[in-house]
Structures are given as C-alpha cells and as structure tokens.
Amino acid sequence: MGIQAEEIAAVLKQFGVDYDAFQIETFHSGHINSTHRVDIRYKGVSDAFVAQRINTYVFPDPVGIMENIDIVTGHIRDKLVEAGINPERRVLNFLKRPDGTNYYFESQESFWRVYRFVPNTVTYDKAEDPSILTSAGVAFGTFQRQLADLDMSLLKETMPGFHDTPRRWENLMKAARRDSEGRLAEVEKEIASIEKHRDLWARLISLHNDGTLPYRVTHNDTKYNNVLVDATTGEAVCVIDLDTVSPGLAAWDYGDAIRFSGNRSAEDEPDLSRVKLDLELYEAFASGFIPACRDGLTEAELDTLYLGGVTMAFELSMRFLEDYLRGDKYFRIHRPRHNLYRARSQLALALNMVERLDDCHAIDKKYY
C-alpha cells in the first residue's frame, strides 16, 4: 500500500471499520477537500464508505463544522422518520468513533471524516437535462424547508461572513493592495468592472442588515454536484457537502445553484463568448426550488430570490481573483492561472445576468 492507502486504512480503523481487503477511488472534482471512495470486503461481505480529509486552511474550525453537521443531519433524519420516510438514502450517515465524535485527526493537517456511501447514486458537474435540474431544485428547497424550525443558535458560525459580499470585496481590496505575487496588473480591468456594480451585489446583505431579509439555516454551497442523484431514475436523493451549513439568506442558496447550473459552459470557461445564463435551465431549477420552500419564506424573500444568482457570480469572481492575487492558496488549481480563468468566467456570467434580471424576476413570480 502507498502512503495514502496506509493513512486511509488507519482512519477506517479509528471508526471501527474492519476489512480483509479494500480498494480506493479518489475523486478529483472538488476544489477543496480530498475525497475517496473506499470499497471493503470483510468476511465475505462488501460495503462502501466515503473518506474525506478536510482542508483546514479553508476550514480553520473543522470540529465546529462536524458538530454542525451532526446537528443538521440528526434534525433532517428526525424529520424524515416523522414523515414515515426511510432516512438511509435521504441524509448522509457519518460514522462515529467510540468517544462519540464524527471525526478523527492526528493534527490540523490530517483531519478526517467517514460516511456511508449511498449506492446507485451519481453526481453531475453539469446538468444538461432540465428535468434533473428541477429535481435538484426540489432537493435544495426541501433541505431548507426541513431546517426551517432548527434553532440557529445551536450552530457554530464556523466561517463568519462566508457570503457577505461587501466583506469579500474588502478582502479582494486587501489582496490587491498587498499584491504579494505581482499579479495586480493582470486583473485591474476585472476589479473595475466589479466595483462598477457595487450597488447590485451589495443589495441582498443591505436588505438583511436593515431587517427586510431574515437569516435561515442555509447550505451556502448549492452547486448541482452537491446533490446525489439516483443513477436509475434521475431523482435527487440527498444533499451532500455540508461544511458550509450556517445561518444565511435564502437567496444565497437559490442564487449559487443558479450561478452554477444555469450556465451551460464550464466554471473556468476560457472562451467568454460562451458564458451566459440559460433561462431554460434557470426556470428548471426555479420550478423545483421555489414550490419546495415558498411556504416558509416571506414575501420579501420570494421577491428578491432573482438577485441571488448575479450576487453569487460577482462574489465568486471576487473570491477567485483574491486567491489568484494571494498565490492560489484556497482553491485547488489544475493549471497555471487557473483561478484567473475562473474569475473571468464568473465575471462574464455576472455581467450577462445583469442584462437578464427582469427575465429572472418574471420566472420566479410564476412559482410563488
């Protein structure tokens, strides 16, 4: 076994997983954590798990994250049981060690968790089929509805200001002033374009600050590939990647999903002429998400959901630019200047969304 296999084997033992043999498949689609499917055989019986090593540079309070996850998954499991639904495939099942913790670490650089693999499921980095995207909308809307009565004070704020877009702008400005890698000249045009639209991307947090929009328990990273989909039926099974669950705005969850799924080109598409919002995909998601959670949202929340997509696209462009200026320390890159390509693509999407805001608002109104 290689070093990686030896480390994962030791992690499995910590969670009481016995095996005669195991096989590891590493997933490479995520930007942040290290994720591995582990298939085991023990006394003739097969089983499968997912082992993840948490990036503690990105998530400096991994214990708090895992405590939040325990609360959230337990709450959803109780809701499912109460509704007469078998929770096994509908919510992630994290293993616990003998001391009751759902994590294991030897140091901050080696922080692990293990959950049961959900069989016959897949994830998609892009959803070309609108019906599958509608199903994902139902999944994220249902997730928010299931957590509507969860006491937010139980959750730790492990990443303060995660979607506070004005704060993201301030962080970008700090990175620009420092210019530690000598890259500022490459991105001055992009920074100016973002600043020009400040009134738009700051509007949601401003409406929260003045009391118009309340915080909910939100996922805060509603990319389509954070939904497990039944490989046979195409039905969304459950929501995954719960590291960012915390108090937030409904429009953030809605908007990040739109940002990711409503654009048929890649998140790092170098040909910016291909980057645009597809209104068919937008409506597909809206038709699932809004009906699934509208009864729990205020009129003001429903009437500002359409601002979520453009806000999240501007915000992610800021985050990619900041990381590029700081030397690519946050997002995993796969080629030189990768974060710059990502930032430019997200900015192009944001600018296209600015032109489509009235269309987006009209679509939303059809479902509330």
Residues 134 and 283 grouped into a single domain: yes
Residues 192 and 331 grouped into a single domain: yes
pLDDT tens sequence across 314-329: 999 999 999 999 999 9
CB contact at 8 A, 131 and 234: yes
**Residue 340 in domain:** yes
Where residue 19 falls (left for φ over 0; alpha for ψ -120 to 50; beta otherwise) is beta
Distances (CA, A) of 108 to 42, 58, 70, 272, 360: 31, 11, 20, 39, 43
Return the pLDDT at 34: 85
Residues 140 and 109 grouped into a single domain: no
Q: Which of 66, 88, 119 is the last residue of a domain?
A: 119
Residue 3 has pLDDT above 70, yes or no: no
Residue 2 has pLDDT above 70, yes or no: no
Q: Which has the closest alpha carbon to 364: 166, 185, 356? A: 356
Where residue 164 falls (left for φ over 0; alpha for ψ -120 to 50; beta otherwise) is beta
Give the single-character DSSP code of 36: E
Return the pLDDT at 5: 86
Residues 269 and 296 grouped into a single domain: yes
Q: Which of 95, 119, 143 is the last residue of a domain?
A: 119
Tokens 């039926």 sit at which residue? 233
Return the pLDDT at 330: 87
Number of domains in the chain: 2
**Residue 60 in domain:** yes
Return the pLDDT at 30: 55
Residue 11's CATH number: 3.30.200
**Residue 166 in domain:** yes
Burial per residue of 217-250, b for 16 or more beta-carbon CB atoms within 10 angstroms, e otherwise: bbbbbbbbbbbbbbeeeeebbbbbbbbbbbebbb
Q: Residue 110 corresponds to which tokens in the numbers above?
A: 């080696």
Return the pLDDT at 1: 43
Angle ∠(302,357,351) on CA atoms, nearest 5: 130
Whole domain around residue 16: which residue ranges?
Answer: 3-119
Residues 49 and 101 grouped into a single domain: yes
Name the CA dihedral angle for 347, 314, 331, 123, rounded to a multiple of 10 degrees. Answer: -90
Average pLDDT of span 205-231: 94
Share of the chain above pLDDT 70, in %: 97
**Residue 73 in domain:** yes
Q: Residue 219 corresponds to which tokens in the numbers above?
A: 């996922």
**Residue 125 in domain:** no
pLDDT tens sequence across 332-350: 899 999 999 999 999 999 9
Residue 290's CATH number: 3.90.1200.10
**Residue 156 in domain:** yes
**Residue 124 in domain:** no
pTM for this entry: 0.89
Angle ∠(199,204,207) on CA atoms, nearest 5: 100
Residues 335 and 195 grouped into a single domain: yes
3-class SS of residue 31: coil
Residues 71 and 136 grouped into a single domain: no
Give the single-character DSSP code of 232: T
Residues 69 and 135 grouped into a single domain: no
Residues 109 and 175 grouped into a single domain: no
Residues 145 and 103 grouped into a single domain: no
pLDDT tens sequence across 41-96: 999 999 999 999 998 887 889 999 999 999 999 999 999 999 999 999 999 999 99
Residues 177 and 243 grouped into a single domain: yes
CA–CA dist 72, 218 (Å, integer)? 10
Average pLDDT of span 192-219: 97
CB contact at 8 A, 41 and 22: yes
Residues 109 and 135 grouped into a single domain: no
Taking the CA of residue 211 as centre, how many other CA atoms within 13 Å lie in the half-sphere pointing to its CB? 0
Return the pLDDT at 185: 98
Q: Which of 71, 98, 119 is the last residue of a domain?
A: 119
